[in-house]
Homo-oligomer: A and B are copies of this chain.
């Protein structure tokens, strides 16, 4: 597959030569869990929630507004139609979901960066969507395309990040109707990791597919998944025609979508965990079933963006125990559907990359690993409830993602790991620093941060008593300074440039 992928990408001699001369930045393979999932719902609770979700679909139904084609598809499939309301007979949605694959490969232009989504795997992708950026020197400000490019470079340089993501920040200095072209161009040319497509208009989804055809080759895109894009459901139970239009484009082109309720508990879903899970399941069943009506076998991920709310201020709250319960439970429901699962991330409500941000983020990242998440969007860089992409927090979180890789390895129990010879060699009162087993194993034994402070107090003080944000600022600059663009066949680059230029000329700028 890798070999075919390489040939498929139109790489001639020039591309191969460029590849050989490239500076390589290490990227860890996506996580393959060798640990169990943590499960909070009993079999009885799962069955109640599954029963109730079918009741919601059958009795209450879901809305597909302004979308006669979708209504027709549902009618043909046997749903009960009443205007824009679609009531789905018990069991039908689940049956339709069965054609969705339980795992798929998303190809990157560098086949070493391909990811397998589903099963025991966890793929980590950066923050998505914030209109603002923040760094220590510039403070909080509207994001620009220059910021966007920097985040794509940081993601490319981040060892524990497997995916380049999508809207790593919203480039507000570019026209709304054209910025998707520049964003995709950046992911394609500044990185060689897999990426996401545009969902803000069906035509922009089509542009994303067309640009992928240039990058990967026409036939390769028809035969393989090269994008995973984010389709949000307007919870409760509303399927926006723009998002559904983008989903239709991607499904018909065999490109993957995350189909994801976006829920602040108590506002877009009931204030209880079991009630929220019922709605999450009903919504994802309907959305995924619809993707399979568009194209049976289209790759999809069952998503669950869920968090709680501070009922005093109305602010969403992150890293909370209730969000954890919902995510653990949603993971169980996804596994029973045999579908890849997306949830969790570097979520926090804090305005700064401070202790609050880190507590909330660590709570969510750990819970994401243990809940069996297969695709974690927002795995680094999220700040202020998703309003801000933070440069410092991006590298702080990206460093912490290393702990998930090591945790997921589980515990070795072979003879070397048992270390009986070391215990014999050292004996009571001795120490292990110099013993043969330690010398042979220490390099790979413990996860080590590339960012955090492990220095003696006096050294740390002499160097300016820097906190984590200050260390992260230095790391951001260092990574951007070290960045080298991955090589690309010049013919492909020219074709991409030409496509973007031609598209930009085709219609006037819009900032609405």
Contacts and interface: CB of A to CB of B under 8 A. Distances in A.
B56 A423 contact: yes
24 contacts: A38-B38, A48-B413, A52-B420, A60-B423, A60-B424, A60-B428, A236-B432, A265-B446, A266-B432, A266-B445, A267-B432, A269-B432, A271-B445, A271-B446, A272-B418, A272-B419, A274-B413, A308-B447, A310-B454, A321-B447, A355-B358, A355-B393, A356-B468, A362-B363
A432 B270 CA distance: 6
A460 interface: yes
Contacts of A62: 428
A368 to B, nearest CB: 12
A139 to B, nearest CB: 9
Contacts of A224: none
B237 A429 contact: yes
A44 interface: yes
A63 B317 CA distance: 52
Interface stretch (A187-195, A334-342, A399-407, A475-483): A399-407
A370 B420 CA distance: 28
Interface size class of chain A, counting residues whose CB lies under 8 Å from the partner chain: 35 or more
A352 interface: yes
Interface in A312-366: 312-315, 317, 319-322, 324-325, 329, 349-363, 366
A141 interface: no
A407 B324 contact: yes
A310 B320 CA distance: 31
Interface stretch (A66-74, A92-100, A435-443, A497-505): A435-443
Given A362-B359, A370-B370, A427-B60, A417 B275 contact: yes
Q: Which of A49, A265, A270, A424 has the most chain B CB atoms inside 10 A of its CB?
A: A270
Contact of A407 (B309, B325, B443): B325
A321 B267 contact: no
Interface of A: 35-36, 38-42, 44-45, 48-49, 52, 55-56, 59-63, 85, 140, 234, 236-238, 265-276, 278-279, 308-315, 317, 319-322, 324-325, 329, 349-363, 366-367, 370, 384, 387, 393, 396, 400, 403-407, 409-413, 416-420, 422-424, 426-433, 437-438, 441-443, 445-449, 452-457, 460-461, 465, 467-469
Contact of A418 (B48, B234, B384): B48
A411 B311 contact: no
Contacts of A278: 418-420, 423
A350 B453 contact: yes
A370 B324 CA distance: 13
A423 B312 CA distance: 23
A311 B441 CA distance: 11
Contacts of A431: 236, 267-268
